[in-house]
Amino acid sequence: MSLSPSPRPTSDDQQWPDQQWLSGGKPTSIAGQAAYLAGRAGDTLGLIVVGALSLGLIAVLLICLILAGIKGSLVATLLMLLAIAGVVLAFGKFRRQTRQAAVLRSGGAALPRSDVGTEFATLEAERIQKLAHLTLKAGASLSAPLRQKLNASATAIRDALRATAAGGVLTREAHDARQAADDDLPTALSAYQDLRVTGSGLAYGEVLLSEQLTLIERRMRSISDAQAQQHTRKLEAGRRYLSVKYGEADDLQPAEMRVSGQKVKGEAER
């Protein structure tokens, strides 16, 4: 997809709603990267030193084993074999612990510092970052109204990706959210950019792109709303269960109904 280079944000960009997430997913700080590289170097150096010491010790034990075998000492031979096995097992344990520490350190360094938090540790992290990059790059060449619609559509896609990623199941809604981020939005932007190259029909092209962005946003909003309603139903079911288990009959009424009922009762008493 050919997109023009993105200039620095203009004053119109300040009008975009919920724009801060588009700059999320930045790499870790220089200090964090230095600490990570230092840890990797320390792990490698530790493996080299411990490995060299282990090889030297095994060589000495092998010499002792040969001598014990020449002398015919069965006890000494068994002790040397046990010692060699112990050195090998100790080095293997040290290597496993070093690798586990490296994996943990790598996972911590890979998490970006943004409002997304631990969600960037999920499989949707890369998709959301690509979506942010695409939105910023493509929006630079759009008019202010189209740029706002693009930002709204991208934000709706992001919210839908987050909402559907929580379940960990590839549902129809999750598929549509991924398809919107990977194909629908990039294809619409690419077609508009190709039209801009020709220099004709731009007004009608803006109308078509605006309609596509509206359709995408509407579908993504419906997905987010459906997921929110699903979580709300789970909370309501939990409240009903706890009300039956611990509460009274009045607790089974929704909180909104209890509040409105109390207001009506208070007005009647007046």
Distance CA 163, CA 158 (A): 9
Distance CA 65, CA 88 (A): 15
- Please check whether residue 75 lies inside any domain of the structure: yes
125 with 166, same domain: the answer is yes
172 with 102, same domain: the answer is no
Query: 48-71 as b/e, with b when 16 or more CB fall inside 10 Å?
Result: eeeeeebeebbeebeebbeebeee
Domain around 34? 30-110
105 with 48, same domain: the answer is yes
The pLDDT assigned to 217 comes to: 95
pLDDT reading at 34 higher than 50: yes
Distance CA 136, CA 10 (A): 12
The total domain count for the chain is: 2
138 with 106, same domain: the answer is no
104 with 165, same domain: the answer is no
Radius of gyration of the chain (CA): 31
202 with 238, same domain: the answer is yes
pLDDT band at 181 (very low <50, low <70, confident <90, very high): very high
106 with 48, same domain: the answer is yes
- Please check whether residue 200 lies inside any domain of the structure: yes
Q: Which residues contact 88 (CB under 8 A, 6 or more apart)?
A: 54, 58
pLDDT reading at 122 higher than 50: yes
- Please check whether residue 22 lies inside any domain of the structure: no
pTM: 0.50
Distance CA 149, CA 147 (A): 5
127 with 239, same domain: the answer is yes
Q: Residue range 66-82: average pLDDT?
A: 85
129 with 196, same domain: the answer is yes
Of 119, 132, 197, 218, which is closest to residue 165 (Cα–Cα)?
119
- Please check whether residue 100 lies inside any domain of the structure: yes
pLDDT digits (tens, 9 = 90+) for 123-152: 677 888 889 999 999 888 899 999 999 999
152 with 212, same domain: the answer is yes
Q: What's the whole-number average pLDDT of the chain?
A: 77
Of 263, 266, 243, which is closest to residue 253 (Cα–Cα)?
243
155 with 72, same domain: the answer is no
pLDDT band at 38 (very low <50, low <70, confident <90, very high): confident
Of 147, 146, 128, 159, which is closest to residue 222 (Cα–Cα)?
159
Q: Domain ends where: 51, 79, 110?
A: 110
Instruction: Copy the structure tokens of residue 139.
Output: 């929006």
pLDDT reading at 97 higher than 60: yes
Distance CA 129, CA 112 (A): 10
The CA-atom distances, in angstroms, between 212 and each of 136, 188, 193, 205 are 18, 7, 14, 11
